Structure 1
Amino acid sequence: MLSLPELPRPDAIDQVRARIAAHIVETPVIDWPAADVAAATGVALDLSVKLELFQRAGSFKARGALNNILTLSADQRARGVTAVSAGNHAIATAFAARAADSHAKVVMAANASPFRIAQCRAVGADVVLADDIAAAFAEVRRIADAEGRAFIHPFRGMTTHMGPATLAREWLGQAPDLDALVVPVGGGGLICGIALAVKSLKPSCRIFGVEPTGAASMGAAFHAGRPVDTAPHATIADSLAPPPPADADNLAICQAYVDDFVTVSDADTRVAMRVMLAHLKLAVEPAPATGLAAMIGPLAARLAGRKTGLLICGANIDAAHFQALISTDE
């Protein structure tokens, strides 16, 4: 039986906020009234939209990466760090390493977005390309062992989780009337950090995870009560597609503090991306669009009458790729 971490105290979250404060921004929150959401989607939901896409390095990942690197010793920072990612965590680790006077060597799959690879290099990281994301995880461990670099895990461990915990504390301060949050799920670091903080600060607030149907490892494990084998991931939401099965430690946190998981199709995610562009004027990557797709799809009835948080967790996507994604239904 895995032991659960204790729910973080508000002062512990605030200590992390203070540690990373010089290198991040407090991202804005806007209300999207039910009448406007209904006009845009056909579903009347009262939404609080957290614009974390305006975070440094383009996503929430900067918070956890900074917390990890800033808690390393001076000797460890001097040896450098390494990370593995489809893009957002690699960019965030590169940014955080530069902010902490360290150096990052990041491993990405060869089919990763050229835009994201260029973003990593632009902030000073060395980029190593692997055949696929599974091979990338093996390579990052080899680099950590061979070069003595600290491995900044993309979704595991309390030091990582406390990054998204600061996001949740910030959001609840901006929108204290939140009744529910819908959180995109890949490896589970984002939802674990948010759930730990929210269930500490406002236990009545419901937490729902959403995954693409083509990469639904955590939800399958959540409903089965254990990590299960799932098919190789295939989804346009590449930042939500770590190698299966679900991480057992993160699963334990989700089972304790997350209310439910749902899935959405890539077609519905594309629709949500178009809606966000037309009505919020935001060009986002697929991952945050899964949240809106879930709200107006499988979660619509359960969210009726609840003030619900829509997290725009990142937007590291180039114009050409965005246009290609929203121009087809396949």
Structure 2
Amino acid sequence: MLQLADIESAAERLQGQVLNTPCVESRTLSQMTGAQVFLKFENLQFTASFKERGALNKLVQLTPEERARGVIAMSAGNHAQGVAFHAQRLGIRAVIVMPRFTPGVKVARTRGFGAEVVLHGDTLDAASTHARELAAAQGLSFVHPFDDEAVMAGQGTLALEMLAQQPTLDALVVPIGGGGLISGVATAAKALKPGIRVVGVQTLRFPGAVNAVTGSQHPRGDSTIAEGIAVSAPGALCLPVIRERVDDLLLVDEGDVEHAIVALLEIEKTLAEGAGATALAALLRHPEGFAGQRVGLVLSGGNIDPMLLAAIIGRGMVRSGRLARVVVSSRDVPGSLARITALVAEGGANVQEIHHQRAFTLLAAQHVEVELVLQTRDADHVQELLAQLNAQGLQARLLA
């Protein structure tokens, strides 16, 4: 089983080749959660993910013959970029098999690092099978995204950095996909500080590690915005480490992850992808389990499709009451629309969209429905606006 010495050796190999990312306190998140929160900004790596640690530790240990033949990996994106970038640096041919659903930004960046990208299958499992076939056919060394001790050891180097920077941490919260990251982190953390608590996080749609460790039978979904940890089951090498060295496993839903992404953008001015935000999502969903503790959260990556990010931000604005869809009914006479918009302006809201509806309504003739999308301060402000409109003899209601 993976040991601290493996991770310390990996740290020596990686010295100067990956970023020693900051692990600093977020005072605002601490106030929000009741814990003292420290963020490990792995989204600041050159490839915007912790994955390059494990990939590089594997690559530098290849024999000259293996380097000459090249490597192959399967990944939804972050492992792909880590392998591609460091293979390019080391002059090694890299073939990357990616599922067809992989966000375009990750495909483009992987190709940008000089890798040969093969899009195959709709799941990581299908991509993995195809990568194994290509490895055998072309004599390529397979660089597994998590189920490899060299990869696990490389990922664990971030825990050495966290505890060097913040030695008094009480708990570490870490995303789990296949388990390579948390295996390395838990191994290093428990060896250096046996009393520290290591908590893993998965999404409700991909609870493979939770099911494997606890014997639960949570159903698996088809997709998640945390696609970086959308793995059906933990690796064979990872599972024994998780069972022995991880103290607790938590599940979060899609809304939790969206909330965490928006919170990190607004509060820390940092971009986390879905998988990268799950540690904060768990803390926000289960604050009672961390109250009063010094908690380190691993922000594992920041590669996210811009269109998905735009949708998440918009939905976050709706949840917080800063974007509201309101319908106002009134008599259809000259000046009625001007009166409605004037009342909205007096109430301190800004009209983002407006739709004047006459035909598709159940209202009596000579009446109109005006649907407005408003920029507001918060949910209380929305209710104030509705009250003001209704007080003026209009019929105003909030649309979900």
Cα distance in 2 for partners of 1:94, 1:14 equals: 24
Among 3, 7, 10, the alignment partner of 2:3 is 7
**1:131 CA drift (Å):** 2.2
Which 10-residue stretch deviates more, 230-239 or 303-312?
230-239
Higher helix share: 1
**1:56 CA drift (Å):** 2.4
Cα distance in 1 for partners of 2:41, 2:248 equals: 23
**1:16 CA drift (Å):** 1.4
SS at match of 2:199: strand
Among 293, 298, 309, the alignment partner of 1:306 is 293
Q: Is the 8 A contact 1:64 1:161 kept in 2?
A: yes
Aligned partner of 1:16 in structure 2 is 10
Among 224, 233, 236, the alignment partner of 2:225 is 236
Structure 2: runs of 5 or more not aligned? 320-400
Aligned partner of 1:115 in structure 2 is 105
The residue identity in structure 1 corresponding to 2:44 is F
Aligned partner of 1:91 in structure 2 is 81
Among 298, 303, 316, the alignment partner of 1:316 is 303
Cα distance in 1 for partners of 2:251, 2:181 equals: 17
**1:101 CA drift (Å):** 1.4
Aligned partner of 2:358 in structure 1 is none
Aligned partner of 2:243 in structure 1 is 255
The residue identity in structure 2 corresponding to 1:231 is R
Cα distance in 2 for partners of 1:283, 1:102 equals: 30
**1:22 CA drift (Å):** 3.3
Q: Is the 8 A contact 1:283 1:322 kept in 2?
A: no
Which runs of structure 2 are paired with 1:212-227 in the superposition (5 Å)?
212-224=203-215
Cα distance in 2 for partners of 1:182, 1:221 equals: 19
Higher strand share: 2
Aligned partner of 1:37 in structure 2 is 29
Over alpha carbons, which structure has the higher Rg? 2
Structure 1 position 102 matched with structure 2 position 102? no
Change (3 A) 1:120 1:292: same
Q: Is the 8 A contact 1:23 1:99 kept in 2?
A: no
The residue identity in structure 1 corresponding to 2:199 is F
Per-residue deviation, residues 66-90 of structure 1 (Å, max 9, x unmatched): 0101000011011110000110001
Aligned partner of 1:77 in structure 2 is 67
What is the root-mean-square deviation of aligned Cα atoms in Å? 1.7
Aligned partner of 2:276 in structure 1 is 288
Structure 1 position 211 matched with structure 2 position 207? no
SS at match of 2:83: helix
Per-residue deviation, residues 86-134 of structure 1 (Å, max 9, x unmatched): 1000111101211221011000011110000000000000000012122
TM-score, length of structure 1 as denominator length: 0.91
Percent same amino acid among aligned pairs? Answer: 36
Cα distance in 2 for partners of 1:99, 1:180 equals: 35
**1:245 CA drift (Å):** 3.3
Change (3 A) 1:229 1:262: closer
Cα distance in 1 for partners of 2:131, 2:73 equals: 6
Aligned partner of 2:265 in structure 1 is 277
**1:325 CA drift (Å):** 2.6
Q: Is the 8 A contact 1:110 1:129 kept in 2?
A: yes
Cα distance in 1 for partners of 2:30, 2:242 equals: 30
Q: Is the 8 A contact 2:172 2:295 kept in 1?
A: yes
The residue identity in structure 2 corresponding to 1:141 is R
Q: Is the 8 A contact 1:217 1:230 kept in 2?
A: no
SS at match of 2:118: strand
Q: Is the 8 A contact 2:2 2:153 kept in 1?
A: no
Q: Is the 8 A contact 2:265 2:271 kept in 1?
A: yes
Q: Which has the higher contact order (CA 8 A, sep 6+)?
A: 1
SS at match of 1:27: coil
Cα distance in 2 for partners of 1:258, 1:179 equals: 14
Per-residue deviation, residues 232-285 of structure 1 (Å, max 9, x unmatched): 44211101112x233333121111000010100001110111111110001210
Aligned partner of 1:161 in structure 2 is 152
**1:229 CA drift (Å):** 8.5
